[in-house]
């Protein structure tokens, strides 16, 4: 188990270096390009297999205990250690990350985005995977920061070199926003580590902030929270996200929504809730307010983009939907209750699966039509996917109803538990304020259903014989292989939520109790 976790974190870096080497003659296949893409599928597949083995070997009777630990002294002067481990909070995120990277590598093998060398593409993809996996596995504040920052450069180049229109501007906006947020976050992490004498997250969580003064906790939450909020992204620090999603290649959008956004909310749960509880109690009402505004703002922006005649880009619409969905995650965290935090973690996983599927589908539509403009896709009477490409239409409709939180699918449980947590927040928080946030969030679910049903009506319905004759290929085999696991897991999590909640709940209870089960 210890070796497996270390392997999962380090192997993508080794695979990235190997991707830049010349392919052995016997493995080139038809071309060197094909060889390096096959290499990407192989490495991500091995990482996924290791993550599955780690999950099977995990002691599911003790999900609150940190398992598969590695703890080695690294920088003695600062008491920084290479400390790795997983519990019921990080394990689902680790497994989902490995799955999404494998599906993206598989998809890219058959549909590589236009851009420079495939070697560079695969190498950057694997560096990105290593950084995201490390973020969910490290248990040292400075290592968390390094892993958190490690993903920025590869994602910048994936957008800037393999993206679509306006990719340079979108990539610069992405890197500037996230770097500025990270600088502030580093100051908060250093404040905690130097004030307490340790950067070890397990030790700090067990202490539950007792060694940190109230002022230190306030400053730490403010600094670290800003950096995490940018990555989440929280309204009003979200403006980099729509541009980045619109310009990014399909797999870039899938990974940005499915994995990178989860790093911010994971930081709130893993660092701020257990280490600075007094500071979080002070800022929780404000975090809840921003979350509630973000839910409604994201939904209203999507409604505006979905309206006929507004030239709304479908990728941009799904990006704004992420602002709303991550608002539910932040609202659950702001409640500081086991119910709300479990809902936030569940919503994280559901959003990664469902929105990843949506971006895959929108990317496929853009490849077929040459545009993601909703008015162009809908045409005079509707794109009529049900008639022209019925399986594509069925997948899109499924992803839409899953995203709007239909009971029986994964999207329902996270949002419901987050609202329940806000309805009865932790002691010390203003219940009238959180009741207001609950009402606003519930209203946001209605707006979410409205814009997603409009999208389904405009893209899937209509007369296939009317309007311009556009030949639309239905789902290809490689697309079916890449998308079906996301559909299956969305249904499984919706019908059997205890699988995920059974992992997260004991760990959340221990985290909120200051390390005491």
Per-residue three-class SS string for 99-134: HHHHHHHHHHHHCCCCCCCHHHHHHHHHHHHHHHHH
What's the chain's average pLDDT? 88
Model pTM?
0.92
Closest CA to 423 of 411, 414, 432: 432
- DSSP SS3 for 313: strand
235, pLDDT greater than 80: yes
Mean pLDDT of 113-123: 87
pLDDT at residue 468, rounded to an integer? 47
Q: Residue 295: is its pLDDT beyond 90?
A: yes
Is residue 293 over pLDDT 70? Answer: yes
Q: What percent of the chain shows pLDDT beyond 90?
A: 52
pLDDT at 200: 87
Which position has the higher pLDDT, 311 or 314? 314
Query: Is the pLDDT reported for residue 33 higher than 80?
Result: no
The answer to whether the CB of 408 falls within 8 A of the CB of 397 is no
CA 175 – CA 255 distance, rounded (Å): 16
* Separation of alpha carbons 100 and 161, rounded Å: 21
Q: What is the pLDDT of residue 517?
A: 45
Q: CA-to-CA distance for 172 and 169, rounded, in angstroms?
A: 5
| 368: confidence class by pLDDT, cuts 50, 70, 90 | confident
- Give pLDDT, residue 97: 95
Which segment of 195-209, 431-445, 465-479 scores lowest on mean pLDDT?
A: 465-479
Q: Which residues contact 439 (CB under 8 A, 6 or more apart)?
A: none
Find all residues with CB under 8 Å of 452, minimum gap 6, and list them: 302, 321, 400, 401, 403, 404
Q: What is the mean pLDDT of residues 394-411?
A: 91
Q: Among 72-81, 145-154, 290-299, 407-416, which is the least confidently predicted range? A: 72-81
Q: What is the CA radius of gyration of the chain?
A: 22
Q: Lowest mean pLDDT: which of 19-33, 259-273, 422-436, 487-501?
A: 19-33
Give mean pLDDT, residues 381-395.
79
Longest distance between any two alpha carbons in the chain, whole Å: 72
pLDDT at 381 over 80: no
> Phi/psi at 299 (nearest 5 deg)?
-70, -40
Bridge partners of 75, per DSSP, are 80
- State the pLDDT confidence band at 157, using cuts at 50, 70 and 90: very high
Distance CA 471, CA 384 (A): 12
Spatial distance between the Cα atoms of 101 and 88, rounded to a whole number of angstroms: 21
Distance CA 388, CA 394 (A): 11
3-state percent breakdown (helix, strand, coil) of the chain, nearest 5: 75, 5, 20
Cβ neighbors of 411 (< 8 A, separation 6 or more) are: 347, 350, 351, 354, 402, 403, 404, 405, 490, 494
d(CA 225, CA 239): 17
Q: 30 vs 336, which has greater pLDDT?
A: 336
């Amino acid at each position: 188990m210890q070796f497996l976790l270390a392997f999962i974190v380090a192997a993508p870096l080794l695979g990235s270096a190997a991707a830049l080497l010349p392919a052995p003659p016997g493995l080139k296949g038809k071309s060197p390009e094909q060889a390096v893409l096959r290499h990407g599928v192989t490495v991500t597949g091995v990482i996924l297999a290791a993550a599955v083995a780690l999950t099977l070997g995990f002691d599911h009777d003790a999900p609150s205990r940190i398992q598969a630990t590695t703890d080695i002294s690294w920088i003695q002067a600062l008491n920084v250690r290479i400390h790795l481990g997983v519990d019921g909070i990080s394990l689902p995120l680790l497994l989902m990350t490995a799955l999404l990277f494998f599906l993206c590598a598989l998809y890219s093998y058959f549909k590589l985005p236009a851009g420079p060398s495939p070697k560079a593409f695969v190498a950057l993809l694997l560096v990105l995977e290593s950084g995201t996996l490390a973020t969910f596995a490290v248990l040292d504040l400075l290592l968390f920061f390094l892993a958190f920052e490690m993903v920025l450069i590869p994602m910048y180049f994936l957008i800037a070199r393999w993206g679509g229109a306006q990719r340079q501007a979108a990539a610069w906006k992405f890197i500037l926003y996230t770097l500025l947020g990270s600088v502030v976050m580093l100051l908060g992490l250093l404040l905690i580590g130097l004030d307490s004498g340790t950067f070890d997250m397990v030790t700090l969580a067990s202490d539950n902030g007792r060694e940190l003064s109230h002022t230190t906790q306030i400053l730490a939450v403010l600094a670290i929270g800003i950096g995490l909020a940018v990555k989440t992204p929280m309204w009003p620090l979200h403006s980099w996200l729509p541009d980045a999603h619109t310009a990014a290649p399909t797999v870039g959008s899938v990974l940005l929504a499915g994995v990178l956004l989860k790093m911010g909310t994971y930081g709130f749960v893993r660092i701020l809730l257990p280490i600075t509880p007094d500071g979080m109690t002070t800022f929780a009402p404000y975090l809840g307010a921003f979350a509630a505004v973000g839910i409604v703002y994201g939904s209203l922006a999507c409604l505006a983009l979905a309206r006929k005649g507004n030239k709304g880009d479908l990728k941009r619409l799904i990006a704004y939907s992420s602002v709303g969905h991550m608002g539910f995650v932040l609202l659950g965290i702001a409640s500081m209750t086991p119910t709300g935090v479990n809902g936030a973690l569940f919503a994280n996983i559901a959003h990664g699966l469902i929105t990843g599927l949506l971006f895959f589908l929108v990317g496929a539509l853009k490849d077929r039509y040459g545009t993601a403009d909703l008015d162009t896709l809908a045409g005079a009477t509707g794109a009529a996917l049900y008639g022209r490409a019925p399986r594509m239409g069925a997948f899109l409709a499924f992803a839409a109803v899953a995203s709007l939180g239909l009971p029986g699918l994964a999207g329902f449980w996270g949002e419901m538990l987050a609202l329940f947590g806000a309805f009865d927040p932790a002691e010390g928080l203003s219940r009238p304020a959180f009741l207001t946030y609950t009402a606003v969030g519930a209203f946001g679910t209605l707006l979410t259903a409205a814009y997603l049903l409009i999208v389904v009506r405009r893209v899937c319905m209509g007369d296939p014989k009317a309007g311009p004759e556009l030949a639309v290929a239905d789902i290809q085999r490689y697309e079916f292989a890449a998308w079906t696991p996301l559909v299956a897991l969305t249904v499984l999590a919706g019908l059997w939520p205890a699988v995920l909640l059974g992992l997260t709940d004991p760990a959340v209870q221990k985290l909120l109790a200051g390390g005491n089960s």
